[in-house]
A and B are shown apart, each in its own frame.
Chain A
Amino acid sequence: MATAARRTQGASASAKSAAAKSAAGKSPSKGRAAKGAATNAPTLSKEEELHAYREMLLIRRFEEKAGQMYGMGLIGGFCHLYIGQEAVVVGMQMASNDGDQVITGYRDHGHMLVTGMDPKGVLAELTGRRGGYSKGKGGSMHMFSKEKQFFGGHGIVGAQVPLGTGLAFANRYKGDDAVSLVYFGDGAANQGQVYESFNMAALWKLPVVYVIENNRYAMGTSVTRSAAQSDFSKRGISFGIPGEQVDGMDIRAVREAGARAVEHARSGEGPYILEMLTYRYRGHSMSDPAKYRTKDEVSRMREEHDPIEQVRRRLIGEFGVPEDELKGIDGQIRKIVNEAADFATSDPEPDVSELFTDILH
């Protein structure tokens, strides 16, 4: 696990420290601590750490609830949990602006929550109810919010990559300054359409950041068994796309690298690749017993690298936040999630007339 951002290929040819300073200077993110630039070690302010803690905890508790409800038979089909990977989306969201688009694959609940989508609507979609974001017709893998610029939620591995590149194409066509954040995993990174997209994005200098969430396993196949080049940050080299490996368990590293990547894309320099070294604690989906890895490996990640625990320790140790205050936040999050669960179990199923709606405009 890398501990700091490591630039593997720089089209801009700037030294790492210069790039970091530049990112700090132009960063669109809010209230970046001044000492961060000075020491070149990414840090967050107390408010940012609290924000990150809240956001990551919401995803964690939401996913735990979803897992529980799946076990009770309230959620059907496929359900892919994001537990362990929370720092990736939260850090990226802190590095991006309102109006920037987000698109991802099927492990998508965290991405939706972090764009501000209502947990009630997301969970009700998981339970297939009419108040779900897709009126119960999409399910766990297929939710969208035009309002929050969240474009799914795609069940075909890698398909979101050309789609997200198309969002970036539209940004350039319209002349707005939005950036498209395209998330995909280490498994999707081996799909051909990813490289078709890299080529066009680099050729046309499209404002897109490719966030490769490397959680080490494409379902049951480890990276070492599936990738000839397992350093995914290098996958854009032949297209001249800069990339870096980031400790995806450390929200500070994610936010810092994310700001640099987003700025690169927004300034017209073209695409940027961030490989987030992360880990999912649960199986690929609810039906996966995850026998392809040891219990030790999982518990070591949880104990030593948990993204939420890292923030919690800093809030208490470095910022002197009383444990009671954090417990208060925990309570608020549990309340939000419980209310979502109540809604998702009491909301009626879609009206049968919905079977034949929304096929064509």
Chain B
Amino acid sequence: MPIDVLMPALSPTMEQGKLAKWLKKEGDTVKSGDILAEIETDKATMEVEAVDEGVLAKILVAEDTDNVAVNTPIAIIAEEGEDVSAAASAGPSAAKVEPAPAPAQDGAPAQMAAEGMAAEPAGSAPTGGTEPVARPAAPAVMRPEGVYDATQEIPAGTELVTMTVREALRDAMAEEMRRDETVFVMGEEVAEYQGAYKVTQGLLQEFGARRVIDTPITEHGFAGLGVGAAFAGLRPIVEFMTFNFAMQAIDQIINSAAKTLYMSGGQLGAPMVFRGPNGAASRVAAQHSHDYAAWYSNVPGLKVVMPYTAADAKGLLKSAIRDPNPVIFLENEILYGQSFPVPKLDDFTVPIGKAKIHREGTDCTIVSFGIGMTYALKAAHELEGEGISCEVVDLRTIRPMDSETVVASVMKTGRCVCVEEGFPQSGVSAEIATRVQADAFDYLDAPVARVTGKDVPMPYAANLEKLALPSVAEVVEAVKAVCYR
């Protein structure tokens, strides 16, 4: 029986990649452990090893092919004693083989992109922006006086380029490191490995080992060292491979970074950024899936930022690096590979502490942030088809929280649903609900609803993990409930 060689996944979140190179050709004998091919994603290059022995009967996907979906048969191996030509002509045993759709080509994704949703799927999304599009002039919308208008962040006519969140974060760091000699980045695998998630790709090459520093696996130590360096006038960017590991360092983050300005009567502070992926990725179980937004948002002396789009990731990270306070910058592994339009400006910043109306609507306000926005936007899109118009507010910053924008929106719609992946008890949604009921009680036509991660440690099994996270269906249901539909 001929054996299919399948396109492997390099990480739990990888959906497709590039088949870069074949190292064996048809007719070659292969044995277990031989390198068959090289595959690439925007994160990494990996080798495909043979698991089975035999003869490479047929190559199904030529080298230098982009967007090869994970689990696509890429070659056929004839086992010892099998007829190689018969195996080759038999074709792959999988029922059907089709390439993954290129991002935003058919109608639905294009429409979603127009609504500001991520171009999916993740993986080898176009790098550097292939088709620049100009941002249309901001629509004239009536806003209550004093409420922040995020549409003014990007001047009309600005060229937009498509890039991934990963690239946007990298560019933000590189731009700030060019601008300010005191900015440096440290963490595990940030330099020579180019970042565990390739967020610091190329920084070592441009800025050298003095400013791009590989640390030992010593979170408590290097977080504290970073705080000390900030006390002494530097501006560290401390990368945690994931915020789950920052629990080892949370004493230094809270007790040293957040509290010193107050404890010193304003003499000494820690101008620095703690950043890294936060929350659930995909099938990484309870110890690697925790969403810390609510934890850090509980602490005076910190700012907490959690962007959704690549543009906000870039603009907010630049602001965070310049901020004289310690900023917790919560990224998301699944969002890293998603592409968004980013303004092509020499110095694009987004102010910390300001929410954005991501989508205008009249019937219900959905408030979310970070990856929670993916559920919110898909639900809003779906509800539009059912005649319910949702206004989606992207908080972007958790602390200080832009209550004004949320409250103004709720005053307009009379309804509010909060969406986050974090746990329900004492979560960010609980805080939003408190503020909305305090400041817009007379405007509410229904109690504030929330859709959160379930109150359980993250399970590993695929079906259980899906249940533990919020879903678009739950958001749709919650919106209908507050609309009495």
Contacts and interface: CB of A to CB of B under 8 A. Distances in A.
Interface of A: 101, 103, 132-138, 142-146, 151-156, 159, 161-171, 173-174, 192-193, 196-197, 199-200, 203, 357-361
Contacts of A167: 228-229, 231-232
Question: In the complex, which of the residues A135, A171, A173 has the most CB atoms of chain B within 10 Å of its own CB atom?
Answer: A173
17 contacts: A138-B265, A151-B232, A156-B255, A159-B255, A162-B221, A162-B225, A162-B227, A163-B224, A163-B256, A166-B227, A166-B230, A167-B228, A167-B229, A169-B225, A170-B233, A200-B215, A361-B323
A154 B227 CA distance: 13
Interface in B55-80: none
A170 B230 CA distance: 8
B225 A166 contact: yes
Contacts of B425: none
A200 B217 CA distance: 10
Given A152-B260, A166-B226, A359-B261, A199 B232 contact: no
A143 B221 contact: no
Nearest to B303: A360
A358 B224 contact: no
Interface stretch (B128-136, B266-274, B468-476): B266-274
Interface string B318-338: 000001110000000000000
Interface in B350-365: none
Contacts of B222: 162, 196, 200
Given A170-B234, A360-B301, A132 B228 contact: no
B228 A169 contact: yes
A192 to B, nearest CB: 7
Nearest to B254: A156
B224 A159 contact: yes
Interface residues of B, number: 41
A361 B231 CA distance: 14
A166 B218 contact: no
Interface string B193-236: 00000000000000000100001101011111111111111100
Nearest to A195: B221
B238 to A, nearest CB: 10
Contacts of B220: 162, 192-193, 196
Contacts of A142: 260, 263-264
Contact of B267 (A146, A162, A174): A146
B300 A359 contact: yes
A132 B210 CA distance: 38
Contacts of A165: 221, 224-225, 228
A183 to B, nearest CB: 14
A163 B253 CA distance: 11
A132 B215 CA distance: 38
B231 A166 contact: yes
B297 interface: no
B295 interface: no
A132 B234 contact: no
B405 interface: no
A152 B215 CA distance: 25
A170 B229 contact: yes
A173 B229 contact: yes
B423 interface: no
Tell me which of A136, A142, A358, A361 has the highest count of chain B C-beta atoms within 10 A of its own C-beta.
A358
Nearest to B210: A173
B28 interface: no
Given A156-B251, A196-B220, A361-B325, A166 B263 contact: no
B262 interface: yes
Q: Which 4 A-B pairs have the closest CB atoms?
A: A166-B228, A162-B224, A196-B221, A170-B232
B292 interface: no
B452 to A, nearest CB: 28
A135 B216 contact: no
Contacts of B265: 132-138, 358
Nearest to A359: B300
Contacts of A163: 224-225, 227-228, 231, 252, 256
Contacts of A143: 264
Nearest to B324: A361
Contacts of A361: 261, 269, 271, 323-325
Contacts of A138: 263-265
B266 A357 contact: yes
A151 B224 CA distance: 13
Nearest to A132: B265
B231 A199 contact: no
A101 B268 CA distance: 14
Given A166-B231, A170-B234, A361-B325, A197 B266 contact: no
Contacts of A135: 265-266
B184 interface: yes
Contact of A170 (B228, B262, B324): B228
A169 B235 CA distance: 12
A168 B323 CA distance: 23
A116 B113 CA distance: 62
B231 A359 contact: no
A328 B22 CA distance: 89
A200 B218 contact: yes
A159 B231 CA distance: 14
Contacts of B264: 133-134, 138, 142-144, 152, 358
Most buried by B among A103, A143, A145, A162: A162
A315 B128 CA distance: 75
Contacts of A200: 215-216, 218, 221-222, 225
A21 B180 CA distance: 43
A101 B228 CA distance: 11
Given A134-B263, A138-B265, 20 more contacts: A134-B267, A137-B263, A137-B265, A138-B264, A142-B264, A151-B231, A151-B232, A154-B256, A159-B251, A159-B252, A162-B252, A163-B256, A166-B224, A168-B228, A169-B229, A170-B232, A170-B233, A193-B252, A196-B221, A358-B262
A166 B229 contact: yes
Interface string B474-485: 000000000000
A152 B220 CA distance: 19
A151 to B, nearest CB: 6
Contacts of B271: 361
A200 B184 CA distance: 16
A138 B226 CA distance: 22
A163 B215 CA distance: 15
B232 A171 contact: yes
Contacts of A155: 255
Question: Which residue, B184, B252, B265, has most C-beta atoms of chain A within 10 A?
Answer: B265
Contacts of B324: 361
Q: B184, B228, B323: which has the most chain A beta carbons within 10 Å?
A: B228
Contact of A203 (B216, B260, B323): B216
Nearest to A166: B228
A335 to B, nearest CB: 27
Contacts of B226: 166
Contacts of A164: 228
B262 A199 contact: no
B225 A199 contact: no
Contacts of A145: 267
